Structure 1
Amino acid sequence: MRYLLVEDNEQLAEAVVNRLELDGHAIDHAASLAAAQDCLNATEYDLILLDVMLPDGDGRAFLADNRVHLETPVIVLTARSQVSDRVGALDQGADDYITKPFDFSELEARCRAVLRRRGGAAKNEIALGDVIFDPTAGTIRSGTDTVELRNRELRLLEVFARHPGQILSKSQLMDRLFSYDADVTENAIEVYVGRLRKKVGQMGVRIETVRGLGYRMEAS
């Protein structure tokens, strides 16, 4: 999944990026609203983590302005603990909020919950035919058989699972898996697809190569 973090505190931003990257997410960091707008103009995100007080303006006003055309879920990061501040953020379009300082495990849980609600799911598990994919546990299982996935394999399967039956090009997969500053090529996608294909193939999930177009996942 690809996240945008809008936070001007460099130390906090680095900590958040490092923690979420450990889970295999791609994180772009913007230290100002202007930089955040540039990122939004350049690509789509699965989730935005938005600070309130930024050098060039108020994150809540930025959110309200962008909500006209922006459907991406947003979690507001705020040091303000008053109920009125939290209510204001929600009324201006935030899907959730978390008060600083926060525990990283809570942030991760809130990210999962917001994405789950946006996907219309009541729990984290995703059904792929007769196979159950659990992004939180990092596993796929069928009956009593369970296969564990590494972080990048996990996020790649999550992308396929959220686009069932669709052909996804290498560039689309690159966009979902890697941030702007990642030094990778499309060959990396071939490697990760190959690894994932071997694991999910044991469970009856097939990742098909569509020549000249990309890849498509199908579950039996």
Structure 2
Amino acid sequence: MRLLLAEDEAHAGEYLVKGLSENGLMVDWVRTGPDALHQVDCVDYDLLILDVGLPEIDGWELIKRIRRNHAMPVLFLTARDRIEDRVRGLELGADDYLVKPFAFSELLARVRVLLRRGKQQESDVLTLADLEVHLLRRRVERAGRRIDLTAKEYALLLLFMRRQGEVLSRTVIAEQVWDINFDSDTNVVEVAIRRLRAKVDEPFAKPLIHTVRGFGYVMEERE
């Protein structure tokens, strides 16, 4: 199992690398957000341990970018102990959230749980009905037919596929896909979803992207 640790504090980083390595885990350690992003794009990690307060790109922004293309488990390890911060981390796509200071035994237990879960769920393909997204090849198919998407359309589809059955507001979609705070005068979300539907839904018998009036959009198979 290979882990990436994104932690800017030297003492904490050395402590974690030593402890995790002694327990049979390979650990790469980076100290800035851009370095973490580069490593995630270059190496297939089994788990990311992520501090919020990283230089240049903080943990909040980093997980948003990572979740567009990667499904690895993410554990936030941070001194930010407010309920609002925990909720934010989980809503942005983290699988767990551990507050500093912590007992190493608890961290190790959580790491092992996430690694087991990730191994059980590990797959190169996200599926819903007859729609398939092949992550490594960045290939989308429905009913065996290839669908060509732009980068933003692909990111939008990944967001829906990873959160199947969950109603996503326009605010969440805009933040996750475009890195913008939603402006009610902006129709970028509606335009993108219309274009995605034209490729993923309209040529086929059963739509998968549904509008939930007053709330947002959901991707799911319906009878």
TM range (shorter): 0.5 to 0.7
1:9-28 pair list within 5 angstroms: 9-28=9-28
Deviation per CA, 1:103-150: give whole Å up to 9, x if none: 1101000001112223349xxxxxxxxxxxxxxxxxxxxxxxxxxxxx
Which amino acid counterpart does residue 86 of structure 1 have in structure 2? R
Unaligned runs of 5+ in 1: 122-220
1:79 aligns with 2:79: yes
Question: Could you tell me which residue of structure 2 aligns to residue 88 of structure 1?
Answer: 88
1:59 aligned partner: 59
Which residue does the alignment assign to 2:8? 8
In structure 2, the gaps of 5 or more residues are 122-223
Query: Residues 46 and 118 of structure 2 are in contact (CA less than 8 Å); yes or no, is this contact kept in structure 1?
Result: no
Residues 126-181 of structure 1: CA deviation (Å, up to 9, x unaligned): xxxxxxxxxxxxxxxxxxxxxxxxxxxxxxxxxxxxxxxxxxxxxxxxxxxxxxxx
Work out the CA distance in 2 between the residues paired with 1:30 and 1:118: 22
Query: Which residue in the other structure is 1:38 paired with?
Result: 38
CA distance in structure 2 between the partners assigned to 1:115 and 1:23 by the alignment: 13
Provide the secondary structure at the position in 2 that maps to 1:11. helix
How far, CA to CA, are the matches of 2:94 and 2:81 in structure 1? Answer: 15
* Mapped partners of 1:57, 1:5: distance in 2: 15
Letter in 1 for 2:37: Q
Instruction: Give the alignment of 1:114-153 within 5 angstroms.
Output: 114-120=114-120
Q: Which structure dedicates a bigger proportion of its chain to strand?
A: 1
How far apart in 1 are the matches of 2:90 and 2:23?
Answer: 27
1:169 corresponds in structure 2 to: none
Aligned equivalents of 1:100, 1:13: Cα separation in 2 = 13
- Give the counterpart letter for 1:54 in structure 2: L
Higher relative CO (Cα under 8 Å, sequence separation at least 6) belongs to 1
Q: Which residue identity does 1:24 align to in structure 2? A: G
Equivalents in 1 of 2:95, 2:116: separation in Å? 12
Q: Distance in 2 between matches of 1:118 and 1:108?
A: 15
Tell me the SS of whatever aligns to 1:57: coil
How do residues 65-214 of structure 1 correspond to structure 2 at under 5 angstroms? Answer: 65-120=65-120
Identity percentage over the alignment?
42
Provide the C-alpha distance between the structure 1 equivalents of 2:120 and 2:26, rounded to a whole number of angstroms.
Answer: 23
Distance in structure 1 (CA, Å) of the matches to 2:33 and 2:84: 23
* C-alpha distance in structure 2 between counterparts of 1:117 and 1:40, whole Å: 19
Residues 44 and 120 from structure 1, CA distance in 2 versus in 1: closer, same or farther, beyond 3 angstroms? Answer: closer
Query: In 1, distance between residues paired with 2:31 and 2:94?
Result: 19
What CA distance in whole angstroms lies between the structure 2 residues aligned with 1:97 and 1:82?
11
Q: Secondary structure at the match of 2:24?
A: coil
SS at 2:84 equivalent: helix
Q: Post-superposition, which runs of at least 4 consecutive aligned residues in structure 1 deviate over 6 A?
A: none
SS at match of 2:101: coil
